[in-house]
Structure 1
């Protein structure tokens, strides 16, 4: 019990520092995504997608995304990553994020959304970048959509190149896995 108390006392200041670091940024902080294919910058919309943005920024500041890959690339549709290792093993994630797809942001080319399963509130760490306008991912009166929480504001040419990667089967996936892995090497808040 004593070791758990010591560990908690060591982690608590770290969590507080991370929370202060995130909140020190403007409403729309930017995140530099360094990949094996180049880098791009995402502007995160905390005002329209506060729960999704905070979860994403927490994963960025804790280094969760380092070493994950873009495991699903569909040309003219999306590039999805942030959940699988280079060996295509799912990286454990804590908790899910409430679906904020009704926030007024649309799945347009260059926007970033939270990936999920068929359960509308199942999003965790995986995100996708729209390679085209994907209005079918938006919510409708009869169903949930996919929550947009950011926009690629620099380096969309890198994302476009990523979207043209040759794909095939890999791991548990029958298709759409880049033949040459595209690794997220680092993600960090941009300090201006």
Structure 2
């Protein structure tokens, strides 16, 4: 069947609409910031041991992802360290400076742990106290499948909100650093593993 020819006035309107879209200002995502339209934002974390990239899942854990992005975009994680490193388990960071000073955080968020996103190797989840709804800025990356941390296994579980999609070798390297007891805290790297910069990647990156 031959294609129907568009009336000249309609064709002109469509062309103008296209040019208008092309001339629009760059979106928040194009400026390296997350926006509500980002289906799965990515964050690049540069550490003293190398860099890795996280892909987040706001479709499953929207409040947790937004909380994490708020801290990233505020520059909160820059200069913090991985203060708890346990080989065969996980690496934890996002709350202390290199001298183990605790950073002031935003209010706690509710626990969005779900069986849809289990604590598998390479996933990132929120650290918390015994109170399920106590997570603030601290997170951990699972080095192995930690099934006992999943929702419903031993209670509320720990909320996974993304995974490492590039640079898992860096995470494994962090897991191998020498640790000890510092300022009354166990499993602290003897040489600080610093998060130098955390940034939201542009959609084109």
- Fold in common (TM above 0.5): yes
SS in 1 for 2:111: coil
Give the whole-Å Cα distance in 1 for the aligned partners of 2:46 and 2:37. Answer: 20
Contact map agreement 1:36 1:184 (CA 8 A) in 2: yes
In the alignment, what sits opposite 2:38? Answer: 26
SS in 2 for 1:188: strand
Give the whole-Å Cα distance in 1 for the aligned partners of 2:153 and 2:166. Answer: 33
In the alignment, what sits opposite 1:151? Answer: 163
TM-score w.r.t. structure 2 length? 0.81
TM-score w.r.t. structure 1 length? 0.87
Q: Give the structure with the higher percent helix.
A: 1
Give the whole-Å Cα distance in 2 for the aligned partners of 1:165 and 1:49. Answer: 31
Give the whole-Å Cα distance in 2 for the aligned partners of 1:68 and 1:129. Answer: 15
Give the whole-Å Cα distance in 2 for the aligned partners of 1:113 and 1:56. Answer: 10
In the alignment, what sits opposite 2:69? Answer: 57
Are residues 1:118 and 2:130 paired? yes
Assess, with a 3 A threshold, how the Cα gap between structure 1 residues 87 and 141 changes in structure 2: closer, same or farther.
closer
**How much has 1:125 moved relative to structure 2?**
0.3
SS in 2 for 1:22: coil
1:123-177, CA deviations, whole angstroms, 9 ceiling, x for partnerless residues? 000010000000000011761000000100000000001011111011230x200
Matches within 5 A, 1:12-161: 21-23=33-35, 26-102=38-114, 104-140=116-152, 143-161=155-173
1:53-104, CA deviations, whole angstroms, 9 ceiling, x for partnerless residues? 0000010011000010000000010000000000101100010110001251
Contact map agreement 2:125 2:159 (CA 8 A) in 1: yes
Give the whole-Å Cα distance in 2 for the aligned partners of 1:33 and 1:142. Answer: 30
Give the whole-Å Cα distance in 2 for the aligned partners of 1:151 and 1:43. Answer: 6
SS in 1 for 2:173: helix
CA RMSD of aligned residues (A): 1.7
State the number of aligned residues: 174
Are residues 1:184 and 2:195 paired? yes
- Bigger Cα Rg: 2
Structure 1: which 4+ aligned runs deviate by more than 2 Å? Answer: none
